[in-house]
Amino acid sequence: MTTIKVDKVIPKTGTSLALGDSGDTFTIPAGATFENLGTANGFGTAGIVGVKTKQFLGSSAYSGANWIEWTEFQLTYTAASTSNRLLFMAQLVHANSSATSTIFKFYNNTASADITGAIGDADGSRPRCTGRGHNNSTSWSGTHYLQAWVTPINTSANQYTIQAWNHNGSGNTMRINSNSNNTDSNTTDNSYGLSQFTIIEFENGIL
């Protein structure tokens, strides 16, 4: 085996240096370190390139008809590339003041628009949502889960949020993380849960 000892290897001509021919193997021995301070192409994807999350621990109430933003979940995210994909995940603990449905959707506040791929298909007059839940008593609450894959519309900061709509409209109150009564008691009915909205950016090629 021949050995050369040198501190730096640079191209003799031009700016490219080839390492061997097809079939050759270059080995970095155990204990040695190969450190990239420049750009490495073709060495595998990073997978997850960004994560942001917003957790809410309080108990908020919202009244009104039609879509209402739950501002606790505003989450500003700047995608690294429009070729990447954003996984939206939300765990929502919620209740309302009458036995009725609550529907939810992810929404882009910056674009003032629904998010492609994050709402149900159009079908007559029916509202289009990401996911939904219901409530049967003011003593009760439930946890539901929303998920969607989103294509970033640009690489600028976008404020995403969650909107909710309760079936009984303005005469009804929605509540986050607790039952509708929100009584200060140590019964299970009155426990607080936590709600969370998370965005994970996946590098192009993973999905």
Partner 1 sequence: MASEIKVDKISPYSGSAINLGASGQKIQVPAGVTVTNSGTANNFSGGKILQAKSVIVQGRQAISATGSSWTEVTNSTISFTAASTSNRLLFITSFTGTENGTSWHCRYYNKTTSAIPTNGCHAGEGSRVGCTTKHNSNNGSWASSIPMFCFITPPNTSANDYCLQGASHSGGGYTNSNHNNTNNGDADNARSQMTFTIMEVSSTIV
Q: In the window 94-123, what residues touch partner 1 (CB under 8 A)?
A: 99-104, 117-123
With H, G, I as helix, E, B as strand and everything else as coil, classify residue 153: coil
User: Applying CB under 8 A, does 128 fall inside the site for partner 1?
Assistant: yes
Residues 6+ apart with CB under 8 A from 107: 67, 69, 113, 114, 115, 160, 161, 162, 163
Instruction: Please name which of 92, 89, 83 lies closest in space to residue 62, comparing C-alpha atoms.
Output: 92
Task: Identify residues 31-50 at the interface with partner 1 (CB under 8 A).
Answer: 31-48
Residues 133, 141 contacting (CB under 8 angstroms): no
User: Applying CB under 8 A, does 147 fall inside the site for partner 1?
Assistant: yes
Cβ distance to partner 1 smaller for residue 161 or 163:
163
User: Applying CB under 8 A, does 146 fall inside the site for partner 1?
Assistant: yes
Cα separation, 202 vs 118, whole angstroms:
17
User: Applying CB under 8 A, does 63 fall inside the site for partner 1?
Assistant: no
Residue 107: CB minimum distance to partner 1, A: 14
Q: Pick the binder of partner 1 from 58, 81, 149, 185 (CB under 8 A).
A: 149
